[in-house]
């Protein structure tokens, strides 16, 4: 028993050493990724459920690592947040996305994911104003997505920054809604224009009456509070039919389109909605 105990211990020590080594390597590579042009943005449309028309697109970052290939933002964004790289990467995302948005039809918005760290940086709002000025995109066509977990236990600086952005006419979305804590209180204390219902609820929608009840309640709450609702991760037409019947504003997911470079999205818009 003693030996197997020690063996297990050794296993964990080795595993942890390996983990911190690969983490250090990832961090080093991440430091060079921006200047080496290894990032790209893909865009995923979101669709008006009542009309089927594309309302806008969400920018999603992609990292093409020279050796490892494509690395998911779910893996490297948390690393970037911890090692202070989220600000330069986030600035690049904003610059790139507002420029790309100029290529879209004027009624469409572009949504950008934000880390709470970006919102806490003094001067963030000013940077956004400059990016909008340089690109000529009007603030009404820009949306920022922030997760409810990001709002947890924050000082007033995030609330103040969100208020400033909203005063400019930029829209604020609450991302991954339903996965964090005390979601409902955020709707009262933060200036929110849109709720994005987390994909996990949408995935269960057809088979789970509980998930269906939650989604219906969130959509109803949105209606009453004047907040739009977007369902994430819509993959089947059954899900879309249910969401439409519930009065959900918009849907986003593989059923409509996968994330793709902006020119591919624009090409698909003109074939699907010829002018």
The Cα 254–Cα 136 span in angstroms is 31
Q: Which of these segments, 100-108, 112-120, 132-140, 241-249, binds ligand C2E (CB under 6 A)?
A: 112-120
- Minimum Å gap between C-beta 201 and ligand C2E is 13
Q: What does DSSP say about strands 250-251 and 228-231: parallel, antiparallel, or unpaired?
A: parallel
Binding residue for Ca ion, selected from 175, 219, 234, 243, defined by CB under 5 A: 175
Q: What does DSSP say about strands 228-231 and 142-147: parallel, antiparallel, or unpaired?
A: unpaired
29 binds Ca ion (CB under 5 A): no
- Minimum Å gap between C-beta 125 and ligand C2E is 17
Q: Is the dihedral of CA 16, 22, 28, 34 positive or negative?
A: negative
Range 171-230, binding ligand C2E (CB under 6 A): 175-176, 199
- Give the 3-state secondary structure of 162-210: HHHHHHCCCEEEEEEECCCCCHHHHHHHCCCCEEEECHHHHHHCCCCHH
Q: Which of these segments, 1-9, 12-20, 231-239, 242-250, binds ligand C2E (CB under 6 A)?
A: 231-239
The Cα 98–Cα 96 span in angstroms is 6
C-alpha closest to that of 98 among 36, 43, 164, 45? 43
Q: Which residue, judged by CB position, is nearest to ligand C2E in the bound state?
A: 253
How many amino acids of this chain bind ligand C2E (CB under 6 A)? 21
Binding residue for ligand C2E, selected from 27, 48, 73, 261, defined by CB under 6 A: 73
Binding residue for ligand C2E, selected from 26, 71, 77, 161, defined by CB under 6 A: 77
The Cα 268–Cα 245 span in angstroms is 27
* Residue ranges in contact with ligand C2E by CB under 6 A: 44, 60-61, 72-74, 77, 93, 113-115, 145, 175-176, 199, 233-235, 253-254, 259
């Amino acid at each position: 028993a003693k030996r197997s105990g020690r063996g297990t211990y050794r296993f964990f020590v080795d595993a942890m050493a390996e983990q911190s080594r690969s983490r250090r390597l990832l961090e080093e590579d991440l430091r060079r990724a921006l200047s080496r042009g290894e990032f790209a943005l893909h865009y995923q449309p979101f669709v008006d459920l009542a009309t089927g028309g594309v309302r806008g697109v969400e920018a999603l970052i992609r990292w093409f690592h020279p050796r490892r290939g494509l690395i998911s933002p779910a893996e490297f964004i948390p690393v970037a947040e911890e090692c202070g790289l989220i600000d330069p990467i986030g600035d690049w995302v904003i610059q790139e996305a507002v420029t790309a948005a100029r290529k879209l039809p004027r009624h469409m918005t572009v949504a950008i994911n934000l880390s709470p760290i970006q919102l806490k940086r003094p001067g963030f709002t000013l940077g956004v104003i400059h990016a909008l000025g340089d690109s000529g995109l009007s603030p009404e066509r820009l949306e920022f997505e922030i997760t409810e977990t990001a709002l947890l236990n924050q000082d007033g600086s995030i609330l103040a920054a969100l208020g400033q952005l909203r005063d400019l006419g930029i829209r604020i979305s609450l991302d991954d809604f339903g996965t964090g804590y005390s979601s409902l209180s955020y709707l009262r204390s933060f200036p929110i224009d849109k709720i994005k219902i987390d994909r996990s609820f949408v995935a269960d929608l057809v088979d789970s009456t509980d998930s269906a009840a939650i989604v219906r309640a969130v959509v109803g709450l949105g209606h009453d509070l004047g907040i739009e609702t977007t369902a994430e991760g819509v993959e089947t037409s059954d899900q879309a039919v249910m969401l439409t019947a519930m009065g959900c504003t918009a849907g986003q997911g593989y059923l409509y389109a996968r994330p793709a470079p902006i020119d591919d999205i624009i090409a698909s818009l003109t074939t699907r909605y010829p002018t």
